[in-house]
Amino acid sequence: MLSDQLDTISWKWSNSGEFTSKSAYQALFLGRIQFQNAPLWWMALGAIGLQAYLPMNESSFLHWLCDTRERLVESQRRGFVTIATLVAWTIWKEKNNRIFNHQHKAWLEIARRYQLKRSSGA
């Protein structure tokens, strides 16, 4: 059964649903994941000297975690898994906060907060 409602077109690679050249560039050349939480990953992995292993455009977090862990020397593995798990949990909490509480913090703000906690020993 057809309705009288008009069809709409939405671009799924931007938050607003609107097509922009920037969103097309990100979808075509940088992968289909907008890596907005990069400051948090950069700060966390940088703290243990592993910022070269940022999870950019990964299709699976688990595959990235396992593949990266295998490439590291034994002494780096435990710290890496701990940091990666902490960051993933932080991202999960922030996404839930945005969805259920309608509160939004910038990823850079979250990264700075963790940097301050780490430097104060908390």
Question: How long, in residues, is the chain?
Answer: 122
Burial of 111 (0-12, 13-18, 19+ CB in 10 A): buried
pTM assigned to the model: 0.62
**Predicted confidence (pLDDT) per residue in 56-114, tens digit:** 767 788 889 999 999 999 999 989 999 999 998 988 888 888 889 888 888 788 877 77
Q: In the predicted model, is pLDDT for residue 31 greater than 60?
A: no
- The mean pLDDT of the chain is 80
Residue 100 CA to residue 93 CA, distance in Å, equals 10
Backbone φ and ψ of 104, nearest 5°: -130, 125
